[in-house]
């Protein structure tokens, strides 16, 4: 498949929303940028390209939210789980952060969680966006609207066993595309779904200087299992600042080029 773009009309536009943009993955398999089924070019200009987990790759699909995307099956292949890796870099390690992605789930979760994007070290210094199945006793910063349902979560870890799981209030369901953004400005952690502010919580203020790779579609090599995503992910972006509500709404409302 060949896709042609007006680069100023992409879902994330580096010419108008590039202030602090450190990672921008369109997942469109554009060979003129060296992309293929195992490599994704970083359109932010910082060289933070994404690669497969060794030889275990998610499947590229032309049915992303905007042109292409990557489909993750949530199960083990050849002793591992398919995910994408962005190597650690100085640009991504920042005091403040915004993380954005489009996702579509294949099925409901019956328990646990599935990671969309994640960065974590062995000391539990971390941030990430995931889908979490809510049951009584599972910690979220606000009680969701419905028990035994699935919710989007942006989490930050306090480099110990303390987490701020900022959850959506409305459930997320399979077969629907959602735009999710998590932000941390050092004072408040916020979660947005489809341009709407869903929830907030005081930040730990630890910053995000985590010398571990960014993992897309799973927790990573240390843990996978129920944390492996089952669905399609598109348009992953990271900023080294906290986006405003207005900027996030404009990201959600932007349409793809032709």
Within-domain flag for 43: yes
Contact yes or no for 4/257 (Cβ under 8 A):
yes
Within-domain flag for 101: yes
Within-domain flag for 2: no
The pTM score is 0.89
Domain that holds residue 78: 7-253
Within-domain flag for 82: yes
Within-domain flag for 1: no
pLDDT in tens, the chain (258 residues): 444 444 444 566 655 556 899 999 999 999 999 999 899 999 999 999 999 876 678 999 999 999 899 999 877 655 567 899 999 998 888 888 999 999 999 999 877 889 999 888 766 778 899 998 887 666 677 877 788 899 999 988 777 767 777 999 889 999 999 999 999 998 999 999 999 999 999 887 665 667 789 999 988 655 545 488 999 999 999 999 999 999 999 999 886 543
What is the CATH classification number for the domain harbouring 218?
A: 2.60.120.200
Within-domain flag for 239: yes
Contact yes or no for 238/98 (Cβ under 8 A):
yes
Q: How many domains does the chain have?
A: 1
Within-domain flag for 159: yes
Residues belonging to the chain: 258
Within-domain flag for 135: yes
* H helix or E strand, kind and range, residue 125: strand 125-134
């Amino acid at each position: 498949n060949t896709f042609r773009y007006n680069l100023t009309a992409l879902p994330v536009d580096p010419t108008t929303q590039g202030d602090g943009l450190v990672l921008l993955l369109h997942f469109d398999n554009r060979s003129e940028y060296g992309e293929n089924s195992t490599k994704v070019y970083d359109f932010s200009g910082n060289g933070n390209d994404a690669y497969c987990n060794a030889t275990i790759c998610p499947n590229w699909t032309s049915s992303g939210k905007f042109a292409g995307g990557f489909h993750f099956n949530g199960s083990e292949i050849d002793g591992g789980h398919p995910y994408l890796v962005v190597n650690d870099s100085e640009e991504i390690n920042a005091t403040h952060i915004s993380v954005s992605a489009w996702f579509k789930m294949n099925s409901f979760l019956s328990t646990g969680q599935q990671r969309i994007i994640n960065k974590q070290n062995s000391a539990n210094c971390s941030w990430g966006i995931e889908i979490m199945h809510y049951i009584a006793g599972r910690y979220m910063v606000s009680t969701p609207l419905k028990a035994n349902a699935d919710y989007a979560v942006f989490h930050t870890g306090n480099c110990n066993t303390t987490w701020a799981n900022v959850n959506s209030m409305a459930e997320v369901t399979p077969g629907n595309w959602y735009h999710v953004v998590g932000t941390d400005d050092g004072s408040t952690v916020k979660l947005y779904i489809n341009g709407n502010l869903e929830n907030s919580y005081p930040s730990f203020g630890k910053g995000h200087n985590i010398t571990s790779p960014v993992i897309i579609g799973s927790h990573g090599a240390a843990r996978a299992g129920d944390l492996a995503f089952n669905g399609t992910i598109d348009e992953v972006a990271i900023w080294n600042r906290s986006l405003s509500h207005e900027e996030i709404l404009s990201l959600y409302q932007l349409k793809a080029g032709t």
